[in-house]
A and B are shown apart, each in its own frame.
Chain A
Amino acid sequence: MASYTIRRLLEILVNLLLVSLLSFWIMWQTPGGPFDETNQPLSKEAKANIRAKYGLDKPFYVIWWNYVKNAVQGDFGISYQFPTQSITTLFQRYWINSLILGGLSVLWSFPVGAIVGVIAALKRNSWIDRTITTVSLVGVTMPQIALIFVAILIFSVQLKWLPWGSGRDLLQQKWQFLIMPVFLFGFPTVGSLARYVRSGMLDVMGQEYIRTARAKGLVYSKVVMKHAMRNMMIPIVTLFGPTLANAFTGSALIEIAFVIPGIGKFFLDSVFSRDYPLLMAVTLVGSAILSVTYLLSDLSYSLIDPRVRAGGGRK
């Protein structure tokens, strides 16, 4: 297990290096830049000065390697949009909104998805089951932008029950503001979790050890709680990794539509102003978070289910 973890961590490091190289290369190739000279042409010397200041006068691989060296120490360079603030400070300011949104969504969607999935499995082929399966299918596949605007149209514009889009930080908002984004962010998770849990539960309930437990006289509810539920942890953990990662990286679509200054919206603003250091930083940190959550969810399999050996049973 320890050697497996170390191997995976090494792989993640190599992977992050590649991600940084890839995104660095993309930004190197992208046309346009912060120095728009159509209105204010710069002299050659001034331009050379600026390029030297930001270290842009060296070859590609040198700049990339310097960047990686600094990034490891938490220095992601100077943002073109906010030259006075460090990128770490900017991250903290914007990320908190994404984290609140994502965290609250996980908090409601995981229990609800799991419970709803179990109910559907226990009431198999009833109208409850059919309703739950259909609604979860809608949740999984329905495009977010469609749901977002239907919700805004109904609850904000027509009924005027819920506010939306003031552009302020979430901590300064009324709690009602959070209802729609948190619901919409969590809805797909509820859908996919309910479907996973339902099919997993049906699978487990057909197993022989469940029949044995029933045959030896155990109460139905106890069989469900003790024997079936334990096995239901696997799909929950499978989905928890990506969902948590999503919560960290935020949903750009929801943040744009509800004008929440989170990391997704910040990223788009940075794309608009070609703020390469910031784009690099968000991509890299997002990538690191994704890799680590995947590793954690792989590791937690073997904690929950002794049958699963971390390392995939490789000899």
Chain B
Amino acid sequence: MATLPLKPQAAAAVPQFKILTPFQLAWRRFRRNKMGFVGLFIVFAFLVISLFANWIAPFTYDKTNLANVTRQPGVSAGHILGTDDLGRDLFSRLIYGARTSFIVASTAQVVSLVVGVLLGFLAGWYGGWVDFVINRLIELVGSLPGLLFQILLMTLLGNGVSQVTFVIAVLAWPGMVRLVRAQVMSYKERDFVTASHSLGANTAFVALRHVLPNIINPLIVAISFGVPGFITAEAGLSFLGYGINEPIPSWGKMVGKAGQYVSNPSYHYLLIWPTVFLAVLVLGFAFLGDALRDALDPSSDRV
């Protein structure tokens, strides 16, 4: 008996498609966006800087030297970006400032994400009075005059990293709840959810196994726009003097302090550098978020 041919000729005629996972598809779309790559690089670079601030920064952020105040930028004495009005190394403070921004923004993001997913799911899934109460809460927070109310809260709590984080998160969660609620409501009635239910799955299983994976993409996009928003919010509060406490560096605080001497050109470096750091990081996030939206949500406008 003749052996079967190992390579049948007919199979070669069938075109071979590589099956791509959703992640691979998203990565393909992401790769096409140059600005997205620039954003990714910027965010990654700042993340590394803030993680390894202890090794990268030539000085500590709080070492004052009153004999060496407002030294102009230059390579001499190791202060490449100069020193501030208390003789602290500006470059080191900027690097530690990245850490402050990341800590505040990511904590505020995690808090509002957890609250948002929980309340959004409750409201969208159960509806009825649960939805009503959560909606009233959203409306209450949404009708507060944002920045002014945050300042009011800060006067109650006092300046500090955890206080700023709390105050930012307090006003940030309703957006997340709205997003999750709308998504959950649209998936609740889908056939695969009903099918899972009828097979005996309980609510928690359906929520985690069937609904959550479907809403993860809009959540990622929301996070990539949320974090730069929180960095901006922290900078704004610190700028006004209701944010991070001394001696912890914050870019917004540095801008606010140096802004008072804006008419004196010899202090401009103290104003320009924190502004540049803040703007570059936030824009990096924005470009990354934009590319992520295009990659993760194929139905969005730019195909």
Contacts and interface: CB of A to CB of B under 8 A. Distances in A.
B156 A138 contact: no
Contact of A286 (B142, B145, B242, B271): B145
Contact of A30 (B155, B229, B252, B262): B155
Q: Which of A149, A264, A287 has the largest number of chain B CB atoms within 10 A?
A: A149
A267 B271 contact: no
Interface string A168-179: 000000000000
Nearest to B139: A15
A256 to B, nearest CB: 6
Nearest to B239: A145
A145 B236 contact: yes
B213 interface: no
B282 A26 contact: no
Nearest to B289: A141
Given A15-B143, A143-B282, A264 B235 contact: no
B222 interface: no
Label chain A's interface by main secondary structure: helix
Interface in B244-292: 252, 255-256, 259, 262-263, 265, 268, 271-272, 275, 278-279, 282-283, 285-287, 290
Contacts of A268: 151, 240
B301 interface: yes
A274 B275 CA distance: 31
Nearest to A248: B145
A140 B285 CA distance: 12
B47 interface: no
Given A142-B283, A268-B151, A19 B240 contact: no
B7 interface: no
A282 interface: yes
A301 interface: no
A144 interface: yes
Contacts of B287: 137
Contacts, number: 133
Contacts of A142: 279, 282-283
Interface string A25-36: 011011000000
Contact of A271 (B140, B155, B235, B268): B155
Interface in A156-184: 156-157
A29 B151 contact: no
Interface stretch (A106-114, A197-205, A216-224, A232-240): A197-205
B143 A287 contact: yes
A57 interface: no
Contacts of B156: 26, 29-30
A203 B153 CA distance: 42
A291 interface: yes
B136 interface: yes
B35 interface: yes
B144 interface: yes
Contacts of A30: 155-156
Contacts of B151: 252, 267-268, 271
Contacts of A153: 262, 268, 271-272
Contacts of A134: 35
A202 B300 CA distance: 10
Contacts of B262: 149, 152-153, 156-157
16 contacts: A27-B152, A141-B286, A142-B282, A143-B232, A143-B236, A149-B275, A152-B262, A157-B265, A199-B301, A252-B240, A253-B240, A268-B240, A283-B149, A287-B144, A290-B145, A294-B142
Interface of B: 35, 136, 139-140, 142-145, 147-149, 151-153, 155-156, 225, 228-229, 231-232, 235-236, 239-240, 242, 252, 255-256, 259, 262-263, 265, 268, 271-272, 275, 278-279, 282-283, 285-287, 290, 300-302
